[in-house]
Amino acid sequence: MSVAGNPSPPDSGDPNPLTAAIGRLRRDPSLLVPYLAVGFLFAVLDWVRRRDPLPALEFESLGANNGISVTVEFVGYPTGVPQTSVLLESFVGLRLGYLAWGIVSYVLPLLAVAGAGAYVLDRAIGVDRRSETDSWVGSITPLFGFVLAMDLLQRLLGSIELLQSLLFGLLALVIYFFVLIRLFAVPGLLVAGYAPGEALRVSNRLTHGRGWRLFGVVLVLGLAAWLLASVPAPVVGTVLSTALVAPVHAVAIAVVLRPLEQHRGR
Amino acid sequence: MPSRRRVLAGGGLGLAGVVGSVRFVERPIPLDHEVESAIDWPMPRYDPAGTGANPDATGPREDPTIRWERDLRDLQGPMPAPPTLYGDAVFVVGRSSLYALEREDGRIRFERTGYSYLSSPTVASADAYRSPTLAVRGNEGVLGLSASGGYALAGRGIGLERWYGPGEEPPTRTFANPVPPSPVAADGTVYAALPDLDRLVAVDASSGRLEWSYEPDLVWPGEPNRPAVRDGTVYATFRPDVVAAIDAGTGDVHWEIELEPAEPEDEHDYRELVAPTATEAGLVVPSRRAVSLLDPADGSRIWEYEHGGRVTDGSVAVADGTVFAPDGRDDLHAIDLETGQEVWTTEYGLDAHPVVAGDVIYLTYSWLDDLIAVDVENGERLWEREIGAGPSQPIVGDGVLYFAGHEGVTALEDGGDGGDGEGGE
């Protein structure tokens, strides 16, 4: 069922992933729907988390920290920006019922993001399936694994004090963006049926030589998500950042995967 | 990259679970009970009302002996902030750590490294957790710590810090001795005076979520003192002279007044209020030269006792209808709570936080090395003892008095063969 073959090196005729993605979404706006649903799910979870007795972090919007901080909300897979996030460290010592809710509150949005991503990427890439039963649903699991791994990795990095200092933080930020760019195509490759290790290798090759262009994509998507999420109205920021930025990100991944499709076509 | 600290560590947490049996992983240590007992001292000044008196507790009445001493490397210099007694544990905050000691013999239950723990720990019930939250004042906010200590993995605490509130913790690290004001806890809510922000906040003890915040409207906001909570009302004093009553649940302000200076004709004369105590007779408000009793309904003055001292710190204790108030210059005064009349005075010229257990008042001063016991009935000095430099205000449990000081915590008990008990490490 996979899109097989070796990727071609990029050529100067590569379309800009962002403009190509926006064009595709204008032609097929139904691709916005799954992430719109995820945005509403995020909003519901925000509402509940602000009322349950579990600690949660609030999103730092535009104007936080006296307006001097700018955040690039890019985490390596298509998603939106909820207004709250759970603190895994605070799960230690919870009573069983609250622990169960905490785990649901953490896993459910990641699962929803993986589900929406699997569907949208599947359609955007146009993966050939061997059978009717071999549907996009089967790619939810590997994509969820990637989403979970990226989330845990970023939480781990965020908890290392040394990386919060200016000197080490800047160095870590450069490495972090480099790695994110090299992993840019991984969600699409997982949906296309690549094994995780193979997806990492192929994504690395596919993004080679496109680093600066993809860095621009990452910056635009990350800043757009942050700005939209900062809209000072209940629900609106979360829904907008999810329903608009995540589909563009997903389709942009599909655009980056086009050399594979072309190779397959030949 | 996420800059949010303490988001942790799914990775680290998972690792701790996997290797939980390995020796370098320390597990949480449950307390022996999850509800307050009569002989706990769960926060500085004992209770939410700030009475500094536990009628069920007893301390040494005669010249005491050492039950145990525990050297703690992170306690240095004067320690104005006292330990906290809860269940079978004594909690104490150092310059960059939280310690839990065995109440019985002072052995270390756990030691967790942390920073910006700037006050004594206050025990707060947290519905969502199996153990209470220890609330400590941090930079510009309050931290909720696990009374079980969470895990420690190769020196890194995991699950110790449950939350910071309100908002996000500033990146500043502060290594300093803990000092008043400490948070107050009542009915699952933590009330904290934040001197950094000249503000009083109420946060949920489970989630750390802000319930309300209060700044006085009157004059310029001054530094807040430890609040007092009683019957669903939070009483706050702000230097130099603002007193307010706030609904504990909603944050609605019942009243807010400025206490006029003792000498109104002197434009440079201010009250210089310190921490209040809420009682059944009214709100006891100590200030530089007087102690006042205010009507909790509207803040009007019921009586005022002028001692003419120069209080700049400290607080009063209230037990069995009597207010015990140091004047910071000459004496400790016993004042009848109903009438405001003097009951007795005894020589004691320091700013102190007296505590009362049974029929004894205990007094320390963090820059001197004396612990003094005074009879509540007549002010007679029962005994005094040199206890080393920099003692905190004492706390009292079942026959034992505890205090933190330079390099450690000490437990004293009445006479007998106590000897030196378990030696320091």
Whether A89 sits inside 8 A of B207 (CB atoms) is: no
Q: Residue A147 in contact with residue A113, Cβ under 8 Å? A: yes
Q: Which one of B1, B127, B130, B209 would you mutate to disrupt binding with A, by most A Cβ within 10 Å of its Cβ?
A: B1
Cβ <8 Å between B128 and A95: yes
Going by their DSSP bridges, the two strands B156-158 and B290-294 should be labelled as: unpaired
pLDDT for res B407? 84
Q: How confident is the model at residue B32 (pLDDT cuts 50, 70, 90)?
A: low
Do residue A88 and residue B7 have CB atoms under 8 angstroms apart? yes
Quick one: tokens of A256? 């980056």
Contact between B4 and A57 using a beta-carbon 8 Å cutoff: yes
Which whole-number Å values give the CA distances from B274 to B261, B374, B380, in the listed order? Answer: 14, 23, 26
Query: Tokens representing B334?
Result: 């016993």
* CA distance linking residue B4 with residue A123, whole number of Å: 35
Report residue A44 as tokens.
Answer: 């519901």
> Which residues of B122-225 form beta strands (DSSP E)?
122-124, 133-138, 141-146, 151-153, 156-158, 161-165, 184-186, 189-194, 199-204, 210-214
- Considering only CB atoms, which chain B residues are within 8 Å of A89? 6-9, 13, 150, 158-159, 161-162
Centroid of chain to Cα B294: 23
In which domain, by residue range, is B382 found?
10-29+39-414
Residue in A closest to B163 by C-alpha: A55
From the CB of residue A12, how many other CB atoms can be counted at a distance below 10 Å? Answer: 4
Per-residue confidence (pLDDT) for residue B77, from 0 to 100? 74
pTM of the model: 0.88
Helix pair A166-182, A211-229: axis angle to 10 deg: 110
Cis amide leading into B166 (omega within 30): yes
Which chain B residues are Cβ-neighbours of A158 within 8 angstroms? 1-5, 7-8
Q: To which H or E segment does residue B12 belong?
A: helix B10-18
Q: Which residues from chain B sit within 8 angstroms of residue A174, using beta carbons?
A: none
pLDDT at position B422 is: 44
Please give the C-alpha separations between residue A88 and each of A57, A161, B12, B367, in angstroms, as whole numbers: 11, 17, 10, 42
- CA–CA min distance A54, chain B (Å): 5
Nearest CB to B7; choose among A64, A158, A161: A158
B131 to chain A: nearest residue by CA? A93
> Looking at residue B367, what is its pLDDT?
83
DSSP reduced 3-state for B170: coil
Structure token digits, residue B306:
């002028």
In a domain, B121, yes or no: yes
**B378 has pLDDT over 60:** yes
Question: Is there a contact between A158 and B2 if contact means CB atoms under 8 Å apart?
Answer: yes
Which residues are within 8 A (CB) of B423 and not within 5 positions of it... i.e. 6 or more apart? B69
Most confident range, picked from B24-28, B66-70, B417-421: B66-70
Contacts of B162 in chain A (CB under 8 A): 55, 87, 89-90, 93
- Cβ distance A89 to B9 less than 8 Å, yes or no, reads yes
Domain that holds residue A39: 17-265
Is B6 in contact with A50 (Cβ distance < 8 A)? no
Is B420 inside a domain boundary?
no
Please name the residues in contact with A228: beta carbons below 8 A apart, sequence gap of 6 or more.
A81, A237, A240, A241, A244, A245
Alpha-carbon distance values, A153 to A65, A156, A172, B158 (Å): 25, 5, 13, 16
Which residues of chain B neighbour A85 with C-beta distances below 8 Å? 4, 7
| β-sheet bridge partners, residue B122 | B135
The pLDDT-based confidence of B368 (bands split at 50, 70, 90) is confident
Transcribe A15-56 into DSSP letters.
Answer: PPHHHHHHHHHHH-GGGGHHHHHHHHHHHHHHHHHTTSSS-E
Which residue in chain B has the smallest CA separation from A89? B159
For chain A, list residues whose CB is within 8 angstroms of any CB belonging to chain B: 50, 52-58, 60, 64, 85, 87-95, 98, 151-159, 161, 163-164, 169, 172-173, 176
pLDDT in tens, B193-251: 999 899 999 999 999 999 999 999 876 668 999 999 999 999 999 988 999 999 999 99
B10 CB neighbours in chain A (<8 A) are 88, 151-152, 155-156
Report DSSP state, residue B345: E
A145-157 burial: b if 16+ Cβ within 10 Å, else e = ebbbebbbbbbbb
- Helices A258-265 and A196-207: crossing angle in degrees, nearest 10, is 100
Q: Which of A94, A157, A173 sits opposite B128 (nearest CB)?
A: A94
At residue B17, the 3 state secondary structure works out as helix
Tell me which residue in B2, B158, B167 faces A154 most closely, judged by beta carbons. Answer: B2
State the CB neighbour count (10 A cutoff) for residue B386. 9
Neighbour tally for B77: CB within 10 Å: 14
Instruction: Tell whether A8 is covered by a domain.
Output: no
- Measured between alpha carbons, how far is residue A122 from residues A32, A133, A247, A251, B52 in Å? 14, 14, 12, 10, 67
- CA of A40, closest CA in chain B: separation in Å? 23
Has residue B225 been placed in a domain? Answer: yes
Task: Please report the DSSP string for chain A in residue order.
Answer: ----SPPPPP-TTPPPHHHHHHHHHHH-GGGGHHHHHHHHHHHHHHHHHTTSSS-EEEP--TTGGGGT-------SSS----SEEE-GGGGTTB-HHHHHHHHHHHHHHHHHHHHHHHHHHHHHHT---SSSSS-GGGGHHHHHHHHHHHHHHHHHHHT-GGGGSHHHHHHHHHHHHHHHHHTTTHHHHHHTT--HHHHHHHHHHHHTT-HHHHHHHHHHHHHHHHHHHT-SSTTHHHHHIIIIIHHHHHHHHHHHTHHHHHHHH-
Query: Distance between CA atoms of A206 and A160, rounded to whole angstroms?
Result: 31
Q: Which residues contact A122 (CB under 8 A, 6 or more apart)?
A: A136, A139, A191
Q: How far is A97 from chain B (nearest CA, A)?
A: 9
pLDDT at A5: 45
Q: Give B-chain residues touching A55 at CB under 8 angstroms.
A: 144, 162-163, 206-209
B424 HSE (CA, 13 A, CB side): 13
B167 contacts on A by Cβ (under 8 Å): 58
How far is residue B107's CA from residue B257's CA, in Å, rounded to a whole number?
Answer: 48
Work out whether the CA dihedral A199, A205, A211, A213 comes out positive or negative.
negative
| CB–CB contact A159 B129 (8 Å) | no
Of A52, A87, A163, the CB nearest to B6: A87
Structure tokens at A206: 């596919």
Burial class (CB in 10 A: 0-12, 13-18, 19+), A10: middle
Q: How many CA atoms lie within 13 A of B15 on its CB side?
A: 16
A57-to-A105, B165, B232, B278, B331 alpha-carbon distances in Å: 13, 10, 28, 35, 50
As for how many domains chain A has, the answer is 1
Domain for residue A96, yes or no?
yes
**Which residues in B lie closer than 8 A to residue A94 (C-beta atoms)?**
128-130
Per-residue pLDDT band at B261 (split at 50, 70, 90): confident
CA B197 to chain A, closest CA, distance in angstroms equals 15
* φ/ψ bin of A63: left (φ > 0), alpha (ψ from -120 to 50), beta (otherwise): left
Mean pLDDT (chain B) is: 87
Tell me which H or E stretch contains B405: strand B400-405
Across the 266 residues of chain A, what is the mean pLDDT of every consecutive 10-residue run?
Answer: 47 78 95 97 96 92 68 92 94 96 97 97 80 78 96 86 72 90 96 94 93 94 94 89 96 90 60
Answer for the pair B77, B408: CB distance below 8 angstroms, yes or no.
Answer: no
**How confident is the model over B264-303, as pLDDT tens digits?**
777 667 888 999 999 999 999 999 999 999 999 999 999 9
Alpha carbons A89 and B272: distance in angstroms, whole number: 42
Cα(B192)–Cα(B165) distance, rounded to whole angstroms? 10
Q: How far apart are CA A263 and CA A153, in angstroms?
A: 33
pLDDT digits (tens, 9 = 90+) for B305-341: 999 999 989 999 999 999 999 999 999 999 999 999 9
Report the CATH number that the domain containing residue B285 is assigned in CATH: 2.130.10.10
What residues in chain B have their Cβ under 8 A from chain A's Cβ atoms? 1-14, 28, 126-131, 144, 146, 148, 150-151, 158-159, 161-163, 167-168, 171, 204, 206-209
Q: Is residue B4 part of a domain?
A: no
**Residue holding tokens 């037990």?**
B319
Chain A residues closer than 8 Å to B151 by CB: 92
Q: Nearest-CA residue of chain B relative to A58? A: B167
Q: How many CB pairs under 8 A join A and B?
A: 121
CA distance B136 to chain A (A): 16
Closest by Cβ to B1, choosing from A56, A60, A154: A154
Whole-number Cα distances in Å, A8 to A11, A50, B45, B183, B424? 8, 49, 73, 63, 70
- B127 CA: distance to closest CA in chain A (Å): 8
Minimal Cβ distance to B12: which of A60, A98, A156:
A156
Into how many domains does chain B fold?
1
CA distance B375 to B387: 20
With residue B237 as reference, give the H or E element that holds it: strand B233-238
pLDDT tens per residue, range B145-177: 999 999 988 767 889 999 999 988 888 888 888
Q: Are B373 and B362 in contact (CB under 8 A)?
A: yes
Q: What is the structure's pLDDT at B173?
A: 85
Q: Do B163 and A55 touch (CB under 8 A)?
A: yes
> How many CA atoms does the CB half-sphere of B170 hold within 13 Å?
14
The single residue listed with the structure tokens 């400590």 is B136
Asked if the structure places residue B424 within a domain, the reply is no
- Residue to mutate among B4, B158, B173, B206, with most A CBs inside 10 A, is B4
Q: What's the gap between Cα B332 and its chain centre?
A: 21
